[in-house]
């Protein structure tokens, strides 16, 4: 049954030729989106709202069918129900869905192209890290003033009913501020972990590892038994699980990088790089690189291909351990073709058995709220900021967020009062909702901009493949890191001394 025929889809052509001009920012208005948000707030009478709102809901865009198949592993369509309900509450409102870009177009590429062309929808689902470089262009509405208002779709007396901000788990939500403000309504929590074949573990006689030394021993035993031990989705595995490994290895530096504790923000990471604390030349970083190389020995041979996907091989039993995210849980349970028992475990900690710089500090769990709904400059231009904010209030109310998130089934609710439908995800949420985890993990790759991140990934891969010596890789990584930090601090007028950096 084709569900997308119910949607009047706006066809947005991705004029990639415009990317070359995207780096030229339009002159900024004096107070930009901050002023637009303040002026757009109404007296709370949302019943009078009218207008036509365009929405790119990202992964929440409905699947073409609600029937499971290998090409449709995650059927979902709840966004249609919620839009219908909202329009029934507000007869003067029409919400038109915009289809997300194809998978080979990055979210940042989509945003830059359509912002520049003037074709960006009023509301888009985006990653906070993709907004960092664009804050000065007045592309995004600052949501702070809205978040201080009551969310009238939340039951009276419940978190968020008096102040919208109180609806969200504080640590993961606050971690996504940019220069102290919210430009994305971060909507859900994602996490990554190791999925393993229990049958093969039992056959080979190995158990779930808790330390890096144990992990390497398990991988060696699996390899000796003729199995490919480890795989993931492309080469990013190095920067998820091994990003957590970096959090364990470099834990001693945390007080210097994140002086005030809590979530580490973009400003602190830039200052730590600028002041020489977070550099690749440090003993901790060099050990992190060395240990990445040790783990990579057990990886699938095609791991350097960013498009390689080991999931299919894992599902067929050809790979024993695979790294993937919380979305894998639902997909595994729906898949009738899995012929083995499977389980999950988090990245292990680094102890002195693996390196003298390691302290045994647990690896922070990957789990944060990296993406959400953002209101764009199109809403400002069309006078629809108030409507867009009200619709986001509706989507985030626990009774609605729970339905939308559980329908998708691959993320966890960030809203208090919303519960995962899958009991296996409840314990994961409890582990993440009040844990600093990824938010405080300043070694995690999303604490810098996209360009520097990609360049550093390539240098790490080149070192692991013996195309660069460790010294050469470290020197080039530090050159990229310091250039990024200098530009970020200058462009955003960051005062590192005020943040506690000497």
CA distance 122 to 380: 8
Please tell me the least confidently modeled range out of 158-172, 246-260, 449-463, 475-489: 246-260
Assess whether 122 and 216 both reside in one domain: no
| Dihedral sign (CA 412, 416, 419, 423) | positive
CA distance 175 to 325: 20
Q: 123-127 and 51-56 as β-strands: parallel, antiparallel, unpaired?
A: parallel
In contact, 367 and 261? CB cutoff 8 Å: no
Contacts of 43 (CB under 8 A, 6+ apart): none
* Residue 460 domain-assigned (yes or no): no
In contact, 196 and 321? CB cutoff 8 Å: yes
Assess whether 136 and 230 both reside in one domain: no
Tokens of 265: 């923000």
Assess whether 201 and 337 both reside in one domain: yes
* Residue 91 domain-assigned (yes or no): yes
pLDDT given at position 494: 93
The DSSP element (H or E) to which 186 belongs, if any, is strand 185-186
> End-to-end alpha-carbon separation of the chain, Å?
62
Tokens of 491: 């462009």
Count, residues in the chain: 502
Instruction: Please give the backbone phi and psi of residue 430, each rounded to the nearest 5 degrees, phi first.
Output: -60, -30
Provide DSSP, 430-455: HHHTT--HHHH-TTSGGGS-HHHHHH
The DSSP element (H or E) to which 390 belongs, if any, is helix 385-396
Assess whether 200 and 56 both reside in one domain: no
pLDDT given at position 433: 54
Domain count along the chain: 2
Assess whether 232 and 351 both reside in one domain: yes
Residue 141 confidence (pLDDT) above 60: yes
Assess whether 107 and 204 both reside in one domain: no
* Residue 433 domain-assigned (yes or no): no
* Residue 445 domain-assigned (yes or no): no
Report, as an integer, the average pLDDT of 368-384.
Answer: 91
Assess whether 49 and 157 both reside in one domain: yes
Assess whether 278 and 405 both reside in one domain: no
Q: Name the 3-class secondary structure at 23.
A: coil
In contact, 157 and 143? CB cutoff 8 Å: no
CATH number at residue 274: 3.40.190.10
pLDDT given at position 41: 41
Assess whether 33 and 153 both reside in one domain: yes
CA distance 239 to 235: 8
* Residue 22 domain-assigned (yes or no): no
| CB burial of residue 362 (10 Å; 0-12, 13-18, 19+) | middle
Q: Name the 3-class secondary structure at 295.
A: helix
Provide DSSP, 359-382: --PPPPPPEE--EEEEEBHHHHHT
Assess whether 178 and 211 both reside in one domain: no
* Residue 88 domain-assigned (yes or no): yes
* Residue 240 domain-assigned (yes or no): yes
Q: Which of 364, 394, 424 is the last residue of a domain?
A: 364
Range with top average pLDDT, 24-33, 100-109, 111-120, 122-131: 111-120
Count Cα atoms within 13 angstroms, Cβ side, for 168. 26
Higher pLDDT, 419 or 221: 221
Residue range of the domain that includes 349: 191-364
Assess whether 179 and 45 both reside in one domain: yes
Range with top average pLDDT, 88-92, 109-113, 407-411: 88-92
Q: Which of 325, 341, 364 is the last residue of a domain?
A: 364
Q: What would you report as the CA-atom Rg of the chain, rounded to the nearest whole angstrom?
A: 23
Tokens of 88: 């029934």
Residue 36 confidence (pLDDT) above 50: no
Assess whether 207 and 112 both reside in one domain: no
pLDDT given at position 44: 41
- Mean pLDDT over the full length of the chain: 83
């Amino acid at each position: 049954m084709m569900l997308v025929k119910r949607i009047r889809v706006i066809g947005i052509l991705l004029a990639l030729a415009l990317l070359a001009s995207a780096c030229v920012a339009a002159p900024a208005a004096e107070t930009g989106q901050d002023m637009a948000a303040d002026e757009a707030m109404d007296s709370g009478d949302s019943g009078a709202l009218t207008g036509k709102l365009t929405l790119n809901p990202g992964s929440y865009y409905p699947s073409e069918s609600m029937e499971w198949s290998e090409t449709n592993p995650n059927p979902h369509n709840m966004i249609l129900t919620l839009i219908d309900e909202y329009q029934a509450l507000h007869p003067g409102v029409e919400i038109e869905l915009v289809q997300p870009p194809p998978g080979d177009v990055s979210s940042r590429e989509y945003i830059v192209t359509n912002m520049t062309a003037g074709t960006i929808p009023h509301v888009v689902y985006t990653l906070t890290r993709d907004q960092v470089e664009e804050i000065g262009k007045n592309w995004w509405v600052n949501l702070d003033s809205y978040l201080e208002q009551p969310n009238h779709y939340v039951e009276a007396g419940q978190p968020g009913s008096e102040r919208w901000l109180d609806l969200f788990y504080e640590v993961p939500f606050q971690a996504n501020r940019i220069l102290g403000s919210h430009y994305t309504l971060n909507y859900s929590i994602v996490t990554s972990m190791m999925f393993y074949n229990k049958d093969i573990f039992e056959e080979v006689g190995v158990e779930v590892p808790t330390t890096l030394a144990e992990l390497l021993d398990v991988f060696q035993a699996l390899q000796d038994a003729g199995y490919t031990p480890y795989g993931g989705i492309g080469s990013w595995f190095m920067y998820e699980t091994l990003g957590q490994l970096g959090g364990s290895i470099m834990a001693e530096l945390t007080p210097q990088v994140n002086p005030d504790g809590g979530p580490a923000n973009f400003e602190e990471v830039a200052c730590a790089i600028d002041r020489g604390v977070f550099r690749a030349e440090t003993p901790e970083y060099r050990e992190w690189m060395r240990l990445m190389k040790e783990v990579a020995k057990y990886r699938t041979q095609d791991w350097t291909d960013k498009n390689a996907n080991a999931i299919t091989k894992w599902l067929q039993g050809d790979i024993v351990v695979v790294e993937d995210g919380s979305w894998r849980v639902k997909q595994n349970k729906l898949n009738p073709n899995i012929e083995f028992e499977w389980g999950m475990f988090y990245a292990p900690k680094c102890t002195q058995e693996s390196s003298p710089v390691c302290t045994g500090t647990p690896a922070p769990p990957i789990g944060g709220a990296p993406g959400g709904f953002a209101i764009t400059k199109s809403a400002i231009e069309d006078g629809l900021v108030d409507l867009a904010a009200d619709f986001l209030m509706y989507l985030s109310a626990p009774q609605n967020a729970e339905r939308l998130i559980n329908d998708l089934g691959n993320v966890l609710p960030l809203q208090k009062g919303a519960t995962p439908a899958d009991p296996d995800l409840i314990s994961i949420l409890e582990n993440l909702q009040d844990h600093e985890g990824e938010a405080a993990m300043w070694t995690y790759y999303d604490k810098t901009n996209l360009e520097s991140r990609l360049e550093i990934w390539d240098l790490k891969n080149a070192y692991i493949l013996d195309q660069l010596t460790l010294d050469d890789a470290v020197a080039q990584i530090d050159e990229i890191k310091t250039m990024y930090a200098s530009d970020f601090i200058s462009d955003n007028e960051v005062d590192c001394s005020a943040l506690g950096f000497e």
